[in-house]
């Protein structure tokens, strides 16, 4: 897919959802104890960890390093998002423009969408969007980390693409209802039988 597919066509019926910067900052605050704990594990060192739990350093040191790397990456992501004023999600007659997460899909034309369904994990709801060619969306991600994360999301959530309300200003019910209505309207306008 070309980069041009990432741009949303002008649409007077488009509905935009702003990014929820408060939610992003809330997640940073919630993750801070994990970051602090990881630093403490590295500071205490293997000897003290092994005194408490035999063999613990072998597992905890790599986990602490991963936690610190993830936290730092997430801080950079949140910093960029706080400076970014574009909408987190746009739903139009032509499709969905998703900038709602660290692994956003960009523009998803309704013609690529095969099915919209609901999913949940650990009490958090999300919308699954099954697309005709998930690899095209994965391949257009700008770096290897995002491609890896999108593939992992695809396997974990058993869906092509995933959109949640974690970083946008709307409720899950509002998002799901809007996406289903717009997808149904697109299918009816193009003579497709609704599933």
pLDDT in tens, 159-187: 678 888 877 888 899 999 999 999 999 99
List the structure tokens of 141.
């991600």
pLDDT score, position 6? 47
How buried is 31 (Cβ within 10 angstroms: 0-12 exposed, 13-18 middle, 19+ buried)? Answer: middle
Answer with the residue of higher pLDDT: 21 or 47: 21
Identify the band that residue 52 occupies on the pLDDT scale cut at 50, 70 and 90: low
Answer with the residue of higher pLDDT: 67 or 55: 67
**pTM to 2 decimals?**
0.69
* Interval 6-15: pLDDT, tens: 444 456 578 8
pLDDT score, position 5? 42
Mean pLDDT over the full length of the chain: 80
- Percent of the chain exceeding pLDDT 70 equals 85
């Amino acid at each position: 897919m070309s980069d041009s597919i990432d741009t949303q066509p002008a649409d007077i019926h488009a509905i935009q959802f702003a990014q929820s910067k408060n939610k992003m900052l809330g997640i940073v605050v919630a993750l801070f104890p994990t970051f602090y704990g990881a630093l403490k594990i590295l500071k205490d060192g293997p000897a003290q960890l092994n005194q408490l739990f035999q063999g613990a350093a072998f597992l905890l040191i790599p986990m602490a390093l991963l936690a610190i790397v993830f936290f730092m990456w997430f801080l950079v992501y949140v910093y960029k998002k706080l400076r970014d004023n574009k909408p987190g999600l746009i739903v139009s007659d032509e499709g969905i423009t998703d900038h709602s997460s660290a692994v956003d899909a960009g523009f998803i034309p309704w013609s690529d969408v095969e099915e919209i369904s609901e999913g949940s994990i650990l009490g958090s709801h999300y919308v699954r969007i099954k697309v005709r060619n998930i690899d095209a969306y994965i391949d257009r991600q700008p770096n290897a980390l995002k491609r890896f994360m999108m593939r992992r999301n695809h396997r974990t959530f058993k869906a092509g693409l995933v959109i949640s309300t974690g970083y946008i200003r709307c409720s899950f019910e509002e998002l799901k209802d809007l996406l289903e209505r717009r997808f149904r309207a697109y299918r009816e306008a193009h003579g497709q039988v609704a599933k």
